[in-house]
């Protein structure tokens, strides 16, 4: 089997672990809401957000400083055991505690996969190979809630958790097979390795690897803003969009339109034009996200918003692929694990802040106004980033890396 085919198959296998994990989190949310009420759901979110922030430095050192395949297989084994323990315990409180462990395992898994992509990409560009993982993530986000709802209603939480464990068993088997094939084809692995990132020596000495290069520092502004304001929109949108659509089904359709757009945007972001200019998909995709959120707040038309959400999702997928490409561009391979862990730390912090900002009545009221401010804030961050890149570069910031 060719290296390129292995890359595609690997992304497909990784999808099952993402699907299982997404199902587990969604079903746990339903079960926690039923048994513990709103404070339990808050505890569930905190269990998923806080531990990765606390353990990010350790995750980066472990992934970058140890044998990658050993780290991955050990972590996948622990991930399986955690979900199996949740299923066997049958306790929501125990599941919340174990979820904090699973959230750290998920960051380790993501860091390893991120570090592996350049090694297994075969004939694909790094951007194209990376886009396959973004597509898998988007598809899992579309399918997991629906499947989890059905299985949870029909068979209960335990079966959903066993499905999550099975997803990581499948990924662990694929990891062993991939390791065997890579070990038998070392020349192929070397040929697929990512090019050396600019300023690699400086990044290798830096603790905050995402801050060593000025371009990456500037691009972190729109990255952080998009996470912050989409999280805020996600909270406010629960109230606003359900009122606009008048039904939960209509609300679900809008969310599905965004996710479908994200799949398309991820594939677009992997083509040669976007893959060679990491700032272009980040800023263009981010502008699409901001514009979609702003229009959402200004135009309460369900049919029209379905189209707006589809386009906003395209921007989201384009942006996400560009984020991964930018890290590959500006961070050396030896620090990819730390870079991914630090990125997840930033994302989790911004999500937590976004949940606060997006809560109607806490800072801004009503929910519609929260959404308008979120869209405008995203566009402002994009505009500021363009100005900073233009001033430092002396030319169009999207004309090169």
**Residue 84 sits in a domain of what CATH number?**
1.20.1250.20
CA distance 295 to 311: 11
Asked, for residue 127, whether it belongs to a domain, the answer is yes
Segments forming the whole domain that contains residue 71: 3-192
Q: How many CB atoms lie within 10 A of CB 383?
A: 14
- Whether residues 359 and 260 fall in one domain: yes
> What's the mean per-residue pLDDT of the chain?
84
Burial of 106 (0-12, 13-18, 19+ CB in 10 A): buried
Is residue 210 a part of any domain in this protein?
A: yes
In a domain, 400, yes or no: no
Q: For residue 249, count other CB atoms closer than 10 A to its CB.
A: 8
Rg of the chain over CA atoms, in angstroms?
21
E strand intervals along 57-204: none
User: Measured between alpha carbons, how far is 178 from 184 in angstroms, rounded to an integer?
Assistant: 10
Cβ(35)–Cβ(316) under 8 Å? no
The answer to the question of residue 398 being in a domain is: no
Domain end: 152, 175, 192, which one?
Answer: 192
Q: How far apart are CA 220 and CA 198, in angstroms?
A: 17
pLDDT (tens digit per residue) in 380-392? 999 999 999 888 7
State the pLDDT at residue 272. Answer: 67
* Residues 167 and 207 placed together within one structural domain of the fold: no
Same domain, 213 and 114: no
- pLDDT below 70 — which residues of the chain? 1-3, 38, 182-207, 272-277, 393-401
Judge if 128 and 254 occupy the same domain.
no
Residue pair 306/251 in contact by the 8 Å Cβ criterion: no
- Among 328, 280, 276, which Cα is nearest to 114's? 328
Asked whether the beta carbons of 311 and 386 are under 8 A apart, the reply is: no
DSSP single-letter state for residue 293: H
- 313 assigned to some structural domain: yes
Helix axes 336-357, 302-330, angle to 10 degrees: 150
pLDDT of residue 399: 53
- Decide if 48 is inside a domain: yes
In which residue are the tokens 């949108």 written? 237
Note whether 87 and 56 are same-domain residues.
yes
- Position 212 scores a pLDDT of 81
> Cα separation of 56 and 71, whole Å?
15
Q: Which two tokens stand for residue 189?
A: 């692995």
The C-alpha atoms of residue 256 and residue 310 are separated, in whole angstroms, by 8
Among the listed residues 106, 97, 4, the one whose alpha carbon sits nearest the alpha carbon of residue 47? 97
Last residue of a domain, one of 131, 160, 192: 192
With respect to residue 399, please indicate whether it lies within any of the assigned structural domains.
no
Cβ–Cβ under 8 Å, residues 296 and 349: no
d(CA 142, CA 135): 11
Q: How far apart are CA 228 and CA 377, in angstroms?
A: 10
Looking at the structure, tell me whether residues 34 and 52 fall in a common domain.
yes
Are residue 157 and residue 105 in the same domain, yes or no?
yes
Smallest CA-to-CA distance from 81 within 101, 97, 110 is with 101
Q: Are residue 77 and residue 168 in the same domain, yes or no?
A: yes
Number of compact structural domains in the chain: 2
C-alpha neighbours within 13 Å on the C-beta side of residue 299: 16
Looking at the structure, tell me whether residues 206 and 188 fall in a common domain.
no
Q: Is residue 401 part of a domain?
A: no
Q: How far apart are the first and last CA of the chain?
A: 34
Q: From CA 364, how far away is CA 139, in angstroms rounded?
A: 33
- One domain for residues 361 and 214: yes
Q: Do 142 and 240 fall into the same domain? A: no
Q: Of 158, 192, 226, which residue is a domain's last?
A: 192
CA distances from 198 to 49, 64, 195, 227, 262 (A): 32, 19, 9, 26, 29
Quick check: 48 and 329 in contact, CB under 8 A? no
Closest by CA position to 339, among listed 225, 173, 212? 212
Residues 24 and 161 in one domain: yes
Q: Is 65 exposed, middle or buried (0-12, 13-18, 19+ CB in 10 A)?
A: exposed
Tally Cβ neighbours within 10 Å of residue 191.
Answer: 13
H helical segments located in 185-301: 186-192, 200-205, 214-245, 248-269, 272-275, 279-298
Would you tell me the crossing angle of helices 248-269 and 302-330 to the nearest 10 degrees?
Answer: 40
Q: pTM for the whole thing?
A: 0.82
């Amino acid at each position: 089997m060719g290296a390129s085919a292995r890359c595609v198959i690997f992304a497909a296998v990784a999808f099952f672990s993402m699907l299982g994990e997404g199902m587990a989190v969604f079903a746990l949310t339903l079960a926690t809401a039923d048994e513990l009420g709103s404070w339990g759901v808050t505890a569930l979110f905190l269990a998923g957000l806080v531990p990765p922030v606390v353990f990010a430095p350790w995750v980066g050192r472990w992934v970058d400083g140890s044998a990658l395949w050993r780290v991955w297989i050990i972590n996948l084994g622990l991930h399986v055991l955690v979900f199996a323990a949740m299923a066997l315990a049958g306790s929501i409180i125990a599941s919340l505690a174990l979820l904090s462990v699973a959230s750290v395992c998920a960051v380790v898994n993501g860091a390893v996969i991120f570090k592996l992509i350049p090694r297994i990409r075969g004939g694909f560009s790094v951007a194209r190979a990376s886009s396959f993982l973004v597509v898998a993530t988007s598809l899992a986000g579309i399918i997991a809630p629906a499947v989890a709802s059905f299985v949870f209603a029909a068979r209960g939480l335990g079966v959903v958790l066993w499905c999550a464990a099975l997803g990581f068993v499948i990924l662990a088997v694929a990891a062993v097979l991939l390791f065997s094939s890579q070990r038998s084809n070392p020349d192929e692995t070397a040929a697929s390795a990512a090019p050396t990132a600019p300023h690699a020596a400086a990044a290798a000495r830096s603790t905050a690897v995402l801050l060593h290069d000025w371009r990456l520092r500037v691009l972190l502004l729109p990255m952080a803003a998009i996470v912050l304001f989409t999280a805020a929109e996600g909270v406010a949108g629960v109230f606003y969009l359900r009122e606009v659509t008048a039904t939960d089904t209509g609300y679900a359709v809008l969310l599905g339109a965004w996710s479908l757009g994200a799949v398309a945007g991820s594939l677009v972001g992997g083509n040669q034009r976007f893959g060679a200019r990491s700032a272009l998909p980040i800023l263009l995709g981010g502008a699409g996200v901001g514009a979609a959120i702003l229009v959402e707040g200004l135009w309460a038309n369900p049919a029209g918003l379905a189209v707006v959400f589809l386009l906003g999702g395209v921007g989201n997928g384009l942006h996400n692929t560009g984020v991964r490409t930018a890290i590959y561009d500006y961070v050396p391979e030896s620090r990819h694990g730390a870079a991914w862990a630090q990125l997840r730390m930033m994302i989790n912090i911004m999500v937590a802040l976004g949940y606060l900002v997006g809560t109607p009545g806490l800072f801004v009221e009503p929910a519609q106004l929260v959404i308008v401010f979120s869209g405008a804030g995203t566009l402002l961050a994009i505009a500021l980033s363009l100005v900073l890149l233009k001033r430092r570069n002396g030319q169009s910031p999207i004309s090169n890396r």
